Structure 1
């Protein structure tokens, strides 16, 4: 009974004749490289999952080697940059980052469901557990860590392997922390910058809003207060800048949730029902709809809210039954706070594998029909407004922090760039980059949150443009069409 938009993948493959995700285009002609007014000899990057190279819900060799930070650092070598060392994971399949530490569930792939024929994200089993980094921790250049928010980046508990139950503990940092339980991610990056570092890539802050969004706004505590974010952000950035007063750098801001296919791949009316099933489903809500009419007549809710809450299915594609905590509380009348999804809702990609499926093996308990879809799978309009306000406010703090160090820093407006991708105005050699997970043009990996290698090449070029405009550098750009998009379905 489930339906996603993923059948479009197969159409795209047939139309484009894609076989490996690459394109044939001539290399970009670049002028003679020059560092301009900045020194790239030792670049240090700090950030969260995109900086680390997470793709397909996991960190693995290919994803780590194709982060925007790695691609950018490689181009900076042409203008005097040095080596850019990573805390290698040495995993072909990788560790699925949304699972408990040490899990052997691998990265997500697109898989054709044998029963429905739909193409859905599915994890590889088994994967590789995330193991301690066995290289030289003093030579690391990339301090990107999956799941890293500002509070965690400044706390020693984030790397404390003796207290894995702590809410800030993060195995992705603990595996390469200079002194687990004592050091912090910001302090480690600052030490690397102080040890001959000359250029900084700073992209923290995104994970101070993203977890709230990914959990459907179900936990407001995941959003920091404005003053908390501003204080933590300035502390982290200033710690890096003070580590080497001569270093310069780029700072990226927080993208809009509207640019993430995690919230646009699954349609709000993704529930297909035939005539018989629609009739059966309607029968289950006869008493519920009658009760709504009674409370509306009693003046407990408006006619508008009654219409919103009324549940009626039709043959074809339908909205699904979902929780809505913003509705008037009618629990005293025995009426749950539920309604059908509509075009104003943003649906999480994770709903694809459970919508229309039995809950707990009970064939009469169908998620989205007789069992409401839980809050964590849908962003309500009010939650979207909260997120938009937070992102705009936080980006204002980021812009102010960069402006206060304008001689040393330049802002990279990633939000504007990904908005352009969502608008369909970004391309390379006439080949577009889209805000989807559909290969070959989709710029996001299968998890719908993290950019893939091809999009990271675009991002690297976008960073380069900001650097060149600020300091008169000349840095060769990459050809994004030489980088792979998502793998074809299996």
Structure 2
């Protein structure tokens, strides 16, 4: 019914021009002064971070994305004032991901491109083998998937193939390999993954706040703020021990990324439910209210939980049906209530399905991949009940609740914000104690979500596909987004070290990669 719920159409890649730049450097300006590094020494620049530093984009790591990573853009600016060579552990092609034995590894898929209707993966396999090793030292040490404490974890190369392909040797740490290059300047932007994997999984994970044993964490867990602070302090202390200067960045709320803001919580209009026909949708709503929503509403009301479900409306958009694991489980009560009319077996099934069900609200964030799940039939592996439910309970979000992985509920969003705020306190305090340049990316993200940032005749926003700042995976920046980040780093560097780098022109950077590169 809603299985083919459409992706946003890419109507135009052009953006509205505006006369005033939002405090973004204008690379075309000329004040007649020679460029200077100020008190910074860019002769040996090393970048540490996660997928953002690596240039990850469109769901994969590939050459063109790596070349446009913000550290690479920064290095090009640094080269104008004495910066040295900047090397990157490039993948083998522009397909993305890893292969083994000539076959694409599913968990490391190929990059996405926009085919006019939605994002689709380019054909693989990639020529980047997961077993191949690179030699030499690399200035760009952005590691996709890395959390804060991973950068100081010995042997992390054996756990992460992106680091494993260039680590020297495999038992080293990211920090050790960075320090081996004796950097004179560094950038450090890390911590997003300490909450991001929890968020993108829909909150399937554990909030490890209070547990300082990072070795016991699962991949989708929230990092304890004390673990983060310890790792971050070790990173900065190590990088500055010989007098190197640097720039660090704090963390935006990851739930403000397009991955969490694109799919509405209430897409179920009569027209949508009728697959384009309002009349069919109205009839569908009548049937759903009579056969499912009405009986559920009545039963839940009897248990003082009637606010979980309301009848569907023909005049306004209706919310999705979701499972909220934070709710009191009323499975037993619903089973008892439905047994007289449905029989014990069917009533037990209804109780199991709807015991923690409710309709979504504006505080719930539907994750981007859920867009294709709405209206689709649950399978045995993703239904939460161990088998594929029969009709009529076979439409996700409509007659069957979307599961934990599909939605980030308000309590989970709150956990993410609390952890992020704690991380940011540590980042700012450590940056100030060392006199480092500081980039407030939280402010940048807030602006992107509230009208956008205008520079070089373009307004860049966080809107999915059309906003220009983010790639098709909804998390990582587009080429123009990475250029914007680089300019924000340059602003902070200029302010702190007295340099006068001009930054780059955003109009020279595309917003989406095409199918062929």
What TM-score bracket applies, with the shorter chain setting the length? 0.7 to 0.9
In structure 2, C-alpha distance between the alignment counterparts of 1:330 and 1:355, rounded to whole Å: 24
Counterpart in 1 of 2:440? 413
In structure 2, C-alpha distance between the alignment counterparts of 1:402 and 1:471, rounded to whole Å: 14
Question: 1:389-468 counterparts in 2 under 5 A?
Answer: 389-406=418-435, 409-439=436-466, 441-468=467-494
Report the alpha carbon displacement of residue 156 of structure 1 after superposing the two structures with TM: 2.6
Report the alpha carbon displacement of residue 252 of structure 1 after superposing the two structures with TM: 0.8
Question: What TM-score comes out, normalization by structure 1 length?
Answer: 0.84
Report the alpha carbon displacement of residue 239 of structure 1 after superposing the two structures with TM: 2.3
Report the alpha carbon displacement of residue 372 of structure 1 after superposing the two structures with TM: 1.7
Which one of 156, 159, 165 corresponds to residue 158 of structure 1?
Answer: 156
Further displaced range: 385-394 or 271-280: 271-280
In structure 2, C-alpha distance between the alignment counterparts of 1:425 and 1:436, rounded to whole Å: 9
Aligned to 1:318, the other structure's residue is in SS state coil
Further displaced range: 29-38 or 40-49: 29-38
Instruction: Answer yes or no: is the 8 Å Cα contact 2:5–2:372 preserved in 1.
Output: no
Report the alpha carbon displacement of residue 62 of structure 1 after superposing the two structures with TM: 0.7
In structure 2, C-alpha distance between the alignment counterparts of 1:100 and 1:375, rounded to whole Å: 28
Instruction: Answer yes or no: is the 8 Å Cα contact 1:3–1:270 preserved in 2.
Output: no
In structure 1, C-alpha distance between the alignment counterparts of 2:442 and 2:452, rounded to whole Å: 14
Aligned to 1:220, the other structure's residue is in SS state coil
* 1:8-51 Cα distance to aligned partner (Å, 9 max, x none): 423x35998xxxxxxxxx96134421011110001000000010
Which one of 108, 113, 120 corresponds to residue 112 of structure 2?
Answer: 108
Report the alpha carbon displacement of residue 318 of structure 1 after superposing the two structures with TM: 3.2
In structure 1, C-alpha distance between the alignment counterparts of 2:355 and 2:293, rounded to whole Å: 9
Matched, 1:380 2:409: yes
Counterpart in 1 of 2:143? 145
Question: 1:305-316 counterparts in 2 under 5 A?
Answer: 305-310=305-310, 312=312, 314=314
In structure 1, C-alpha distance between the alignment counterparts of 2:404 and 2:41, rounded to whole Å: 49
| Unaligned runs of at least 5 residues, structure 1 | 17-25, 113-118, 161-168
CA RMSD of aligned residues (A): 2.8
Counterpart in 1 of 2:176? 187
Question: What TM-score comes out, normalization by structure 2 length?
Answer: 0.80
Instruction: Answer yes or no: is the 8 Å Cα contact 1:145–1:172 preserved in 2.
Output: yes
Aligned to 1:44, the other structure's residue is in SS state strand
In structure 2, C-alpha distance between the alignment counterparts of 1:295 and 1:2, rounded to whole Å: 29
Size of the alignment, in residue pairs?
A: 450
* 1:385-413 Cα distance to aligned partner (Å, 9 max, x none): 1111111111001111111212xx12111
In structure 1, C-alpha distance between the alignment counterparts of 2:44 and 2:326, rounded to whole Å: 51
Counterpart in 2 of 1:95? 97
After TM superposition, what 4+ stretches of structure 1 lie above 6 angstroms from structure 2?
none
Seen in structure 2, the aligned counterparts of structure 1 residues 224 and 322 have a Cα distance that, compared at 3 Å, is same
* 1:322-379 Cα distance to aligned partner (Å, 9 max, x none): 1111222112222421122222211111112222223349775222223321111211
In structure 1, C-alpha distance between the alignment counterparts of 2:106 and 2:292, rounded to whole Å: 48
Counterpart in 2 of 1:175? 165
Instruction: Answer yes or no: is the 8 Å Cα contact 1:201–1:250 preserved in 2.
Output: yes
